């Protein structure tokens, strides 16, 4: 993306743009260097670079205790982005998902906001547009606002707001939920899990379901006995309940859960007493959807899991082998 004076750019402008390039880089985390300190992020989206992308370094577990890492999956995406180690782990996940440009765009926008020099700010804004306009998924109206902002002689940061909002929403609603369920995150958590946490699972079914690593290993065991759909349904209802302040999201999730887990003949069908299923179907049909929609269904599924699969899991190699790997706190 080099420029020369032959296209009408003044020497001073070229120097400012060159200086701005050095600012669009993968940020270091806990003194972990960027992938290539001499290469702007823009290079990641060139044709040649996409073939030979270099994975960002994994954060170490040094100085991180289990509760801290477990909190990254709680609440919203801000929890992981506000923690340096969590943010780096999320960056690795996004890289593996071919979506790291979303986080890099937000970081570039944060740097733009903090800049003081007007000329440097304008040059950097142009560099952001050139770097990300082909790689981030924006609506036409947000992209238009972004281009208008960059074309203006005096940058109006409000013009950038729609693009920032859309990218944040994509991270929050799509990539962050997948990160929480990813092998990458669960393996990182498992490295930190104290043995006494896992020992508590044998004393309390609720402790097992409430632990990310515990649920992961329980899911693997359930898969081996062809009962995984019960836990998947349980997790879907937890997500449904967490959307209680978003009416549209709750309505959509309720209908998805019905069609995915409760419709007769579906591959993931969860078997409920007829009356329980009938009440759920009627309430969804009547748009009477609230946080209590699946309460009776969850009670039934938890009892099914507790009665047999939970007992067998505690005696399984899946659980015993995990205990053998974990360190005492």
Nearby residues of 56 by Cβ (< 8 Å), 6 or more positions away = 26, 34, 35, 88, 91, 92, 95, 100
Judged by DSSP in three states, 139 sits in: coil
Helix segments in 135-293, DSSP class H: 140-151, 161-170, 176-181, 183-192, 195-200, 205-209, 212-224, 228-242, 247-257, 274-285
Question: Could you identify the residue written with the tokens 């960059």?
Answer: 150
Q: Name the region of 83 (left: φ>0; alpha: ψ -120 to 50; beta: rest).
A: beta
Report the distance separating Cα 148 and Cα 211, nearest Å. 47
Residues in the chain: 329
**Residues with Cβ < 8 Å from 325, sequence gap 6 or more?**
none
> What are the sequence ranges of the domains in the chain?
11-181, 196-325
pLDDT for 329: 64
Class of the domain covering 11-181? mainly alpha
Token pair listed for 298? 């969850």
- Pair of tokens at residue 198: 């896992």
Q: What angle do CA 105, 66, 171 make, to 5 degrees?
A: 20
> What is the rounded CA–CA span in Å between residue 313 and residue 319?
7
Burial code (b: 16+ CB inside 10 Å, e: under 16) for 253-264 equals bbeebbebbbee
| Structural contact between residues 255 and 281, judged by C-beta atoms closer than 8 angstroms | no
CA dihedral for 265, 266, 269, 273, sign (positive or negative)? negative
**Joined tokens for residue 24:** 């669009």
Given this chain, do its domains 11-181 and 196-325 carry the same CATH topology?
Answer: yes
- Own/partner contacts of 302-310, CB < 8 Å, gap of 24 or more, are 302/205, 302/209, 302/234, 304/230, 305/205, 305/222, 305/227, 305/230, 305/231, 305/234, 306/205, 309/218, 309/221, 309/222, 309/225, 309/227, 309/230, 310/205, 310/208, 310/218
Per-residue pLDDT of the chain (329 residues; tens, 9 = 90+): 444 444 444 445 444 444 444 444 443 333 333 333 333 444 333 434 444 678 899 999 999 999 999 999 988 899 999 999 999 999 999 999 999 999 999 999 999 999 887 888 889 999 999 999 999 999 999 999 999 989 887 788 888 999 999 999 999 989 999 999 999 999 999 999 999 999 999 999 999 999 999 999 999 999 999 999 999 999 999 999 988 777 888 999 999 999 999 999 999 999 999 999 999 999 999 999 999 999 999 999 999 999 999 999 999 999 999 999 998 76
In a 13 Å sphere around the CA of 21, the CA atoms on its Cβ side amount to 16
**pLDDT recorded at residue 74:** 85
| Second-level CATH architecture of 196-325 | Orthogonal Bundle (1.10)
């Amino acid at each position: 993306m080099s420029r020369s004076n032959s296209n009408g750019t003044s020497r001073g402008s070229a120097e400012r743009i060159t200086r701005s390039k050095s600012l669009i880089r993968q940020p270091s985390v806990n003194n972990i260097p960027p992938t290539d300190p001499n290469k702007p992020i823009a290079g990641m989206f060139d044709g040649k670079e996409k073939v030979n992308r270099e994975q960002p370094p994994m954060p170490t577990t040094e100085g991180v205790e289990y509760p801290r890492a477990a909190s990254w999956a709680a609440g919203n995406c801000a929890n992981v982005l506000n923690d340096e180690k969590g943010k780096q782990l999320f960056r690795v996940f996004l890289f593996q998902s071919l979506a790291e440009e979303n986080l890099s765009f937000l970081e570039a926008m944060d740097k733009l906001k903090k800049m003081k020099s007007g000329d440097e700010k304008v040059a950097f804004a142009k560099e952001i547009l050139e770097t990300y306009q082909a790689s981030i998924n924006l609506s036409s109206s947000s992209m238009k606002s972004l281009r208008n902002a960059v074309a203006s002689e005096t940058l109006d940061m409000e013009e950038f707001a729609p693009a920032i909002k859309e990218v944040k929403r994509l991270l929050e609603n799509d990539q962050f939920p997948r990160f929480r369920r990813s092998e990458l995150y669960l393996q990182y958590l498992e490295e930190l899990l104290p043995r006494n946490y896992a020992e508590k699972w044998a004393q309390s079914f609720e402790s097992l379901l409430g632990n990310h690593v515990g649920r992961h290993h329980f899911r693997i065991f359930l898969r081996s006995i062809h009962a995984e759909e019960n836990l998947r349904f349980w997790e879907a209802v937890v997500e449904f309940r967490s959307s209680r302040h978003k009416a549209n999201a709750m309505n959509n999730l309720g209908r998805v859960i019905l069609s995915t887990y409760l419709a007769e003949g579906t591959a993931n069908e969860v078997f409920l007493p007829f009356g329980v299923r009938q009440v759920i179907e009627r309430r969804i049909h009547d748009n009477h959807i609230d946080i209590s929609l699946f309460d009776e269904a969850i009670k039934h599924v938890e009892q099914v899991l507790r009665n047999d699969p939970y007992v067998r899991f505690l005696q399984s190699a899946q659980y015993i082998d995990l205990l053998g790997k974990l360190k005492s706190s």
